Structure 1
């Protein structure tokens, strides 16, 4: 199906394209508070408030489902990382695939964000009247940011999320940004429509007190704060950000880099911690209240991430009037006002941009 329109929200999309819809299933990751999990969460909130009956299907989940939203975790080895990876790969061949299709058949519209739900959704839409919407996130080859087993895993997932019959068979294909749209259209012979991500402003109704945060994370009143928010993975290129901030600290010693996020790749997390000096603060997972406070007290948000479908933290930083420095391949950075974008890989220009906001 070809869509010439673009939509401001998932609610507008469903209302216009599927006006008879009453129930919606949203399938994807719901763990680690990563970008795609936040998109699933926000879509569930928006659609529920618009009057739809919403259920989230996930293979992994460590987040609370929004009020009024059901959550089904279709993974008997949930919580066991290695077994879960094997389960993801074999899912289309397992009885849980049948169980998932059996449950998805009850919904009018199915929104699938990730493999293997793309396959389950495609099968369901083929044998029922349900409409299948594939929601794409990548804007580049995500596997390029990983090495070792993580790279093998990422290449496998990338293959099934950018092509194949389960994608081509979708009734609608949406992407979170123009970059994601162009990237996916370069892999499949289908038209893709853009529905941009939005932040959940209600997450930030409570803001931690600046003095409490400074004491908690050992930040002095006169420190310049560079903030990064996201999971600690190779694709986020955090080691390069640390090196840039270290270079700045050679003549601006009261600079702190705050890395707010959990370690999705423990080996890589250890590597970046070994690279870090006393001016780098790892917070681990932070509450929404603390995160809002960190956005508020930071002088600049910075990310050297190598690939983002959108990049919600930059949009969140803008919500708190915090400027951003990012590569020019970052979709969200292109949409905010107070930012400096540099060519990807130009760390000299990146350092100059940081200095401009700090100096």
Structure 2
């Protein structure tokens, strides 16, 4: 099978979708697919592609030029290479593709529908303008979760293309260090862990507020460690901590490398991730891969991804979050009960499984395209 893939997200090593595309390309190639990757400019050096993968890049660096590339150069390259199916791995398809080419688009989430107030204006406008045309042109739509698939059916009742659910894989982290390796981060006591970009959708304001509702005796035995790079509209978090008198218990580490991230997961009491909305929620699976219980939200994809190894809360209710935090901080037997199936749940999410599912989708899309043209 000859597959063309939009690789524009491979330009940045910090782009979560870039990592998704990179892992997908490697897994598809490992299963024997002939993969062609297209990017508007040179891809990041961190993304080494397997031998046999064809990479075509341009010199379109600025955002407007990259948009032009996606609608003009990309379809030209794809047609010239005579690919059988083209995959837009993140909400986009070219407006014009050769009619002989099947087309598949992956939708990771519908944040712009369900939580638009948590998005940057530029991203929100892009989603509003470009997702619907991609859905109209797709032969098949792939979704990361059943929750996103159901939301697509509800929101876009006019959608004619079949929707298929294919969960992404998660990347194995390096072997972790011991608890003492966390001292440079200022971590010296047991802790609950948050992992993710510091942005409004992650609900850190309510998480910190809920932590502040815990008795001082509970907080003294369970710090809150917040791991992740700065996103946007979160400049008040440090002030929230200061105003709540939580400076001795809440630790912001900033961005950490993979080995330190593994060490943080391996030594935490539990993961606390009460996001307002997630299309999937990679930290849930990463924490569970280390045998850790999870506190997460009862909305969107999070219950589906977490399985039975989590306590679910209403992300809009700080008191409910506080109640779950207190339980997990104090009740070792509850943590052990939830952790019992954590690793097994995490093992569902592999890149080989994702690639196998996508190959089935590509084959179906090719059949549908041939039927459409017959």
Question: TM over 0.5, yes or no?
Answer: yes
Q: Per chain length, whose mean CA-contact separation is higher, i.e. which structure has more relative contact order (CA < 8 Å, sep 6+)?
A: 2
Match of 1:99 among 73, 76, 83: 73
Greater Cα radius of gyration, structure 1 or 2: 2
Match of 1:49 among 18, 30, 34: 30
Residue 180 of structure 2 is aligned to residue 193 of structure 1? no
Match of 1:240 among 203, 206, 231: 206
Q: Name the residue aligned to 1:22.
A: 2
- Output the aligned Cα RMSD: 2.8
1:95–1:39 distance in 2 versus 1, CA, 3 Å: closer
Kept in 1: contact 2:274–2:313 (CA 8 A): no
CA deviation map 1:36-67 (0-9, x unaligned): 33432321221121122434445696572144
Q: Name the residue aligned to 1:314.
A: 284
Q: Distance in 1 between matches of 2:251 and 2:260?
A: 14
Once the two structures are superposed, the pairs formed by residues 3-82 of structure 1 within 5 Å of their partners are 21-27=1-7, 29-30=9-10, 31=12, 33=14, 35-57=16-38, 64-68=46-50, 76-77=60-61
1:241–1:57 distance in 2 versus 1, CA, 3 Å: farther
Kept in 1: contact 2:22–2:49 (CA 8 A): no
Once the two structures are superposed, the pairs formed by residues 284-295 of structure 1 within 5 Å of their partners are 284-295=254-265
1:341–1:236 distance in 2 versus 1, CA, 3 Å: same
1:305–1:55 distance in 2 versus 1, CA, 3 Å: farther
CA deviation map 1:150-174 (0-9, x unaligned): 543243133235423x321111111
Q: State the Cα distance separating 1:208 from its structure 2 match.
A: 3.0
Kept in 1: contact 2:8–2:40 (CA 8 A): yes
The answer for unaligned runs of 5 or more in structure 1 is 1-20, 79-83
CA deviation map 1:92-131 (0-9, x unaligned): xx3563222222332332221335x42x2x422xx25322
Q: Distance in 1 between matches of 2:8 and 2:276?
A: 22
Kept in 2: contact 1:236–1:305 (CA 8 A): yes
Q: Secondary structure at the match of 2:284?
A: helix
Q: Name the residue aligned to 1:10.
A: none
Q: Name the residue aligned to 1:155.
A: 124
Q: Name the residue aligned to 2:229.
A: 262
Q: Normalised by the size of structure 1, how large is the TM-score?
A: 0.77
Q: Distance in 2 between matches of 1:22 and 1:304?
A: 41
Q: Distance in 1 between matches of 2:219 and 2:309?
A: 25
Q: Name the residue aligned to 1:211.
A: 180
Q: Distance in 1 between matches of 2:255 and 2:36?
A: 26
Kept in 2: contact 1:176–1:195 (CA 8 A): yes
Q: Secondary structure at the match of 2:132?
A: coil
Residue 291 of structure 2 is aligned to residue 343 of structure 1? no
Q: Distance in 1 between matches of 2:96 and 2:300?
A: 34
CA deviation map 1:59-78 (0-9, x unaligned): 69657214415666667345
Kept in 1: contact 2:266–2:290 (CA 8 A): yes
Q: Distance in 2 between matches of 1:352 and 1:226?
A: 14
Report the number of matched residues.
314
Q: Distance in 1 between matches of 2:180 and 2:87?
A: 43
The answer for unaligned runs of 5 or more in structure 2 is 242-246, 331-374
